[in-house]
Amino acid sequence: MSNTSWQVKAKYNKKAYKQFACRVKPDLFEEINAYCEDNNLSKSQFLQIAIDTLKNK
């Protein structure tokens, strides 16, 4: 039996990505969310930029 499209995507995502969750205060969440919306960024892109910025200090 062949895999459906979502099953193929899920299998790829499991191999290609890692996932983590974190809890933040509502004010921080709103600040991050607003920044991402204003700059058309995903949360992942925001995190990558933050890490790159910290490394280059």
The DSSP output letter for 3 is: P
Write down the CATH number for the domain with range 18-55.
Answer: 1.10.1220
pLDDT tens digit string along 26-39?
Answer: 999 999 999 999 99
User: Looking at the predicted structure, is the pLDDT value of residue 48 above 90?
Assistant: yes
What average pLDDT does range 9-23 have in this prediction? Answer: 94
Q: Where are the domains of the chain?
A: 18-55
Compute the Cα dihedral for 35, 48, 23, 11 and give only its sign: positive
Structure tokens at 37: 């919306």
Tokens 């910290």 appear where?
Answer: 54
The reported pLDDT for the residue numbered 30 is 98
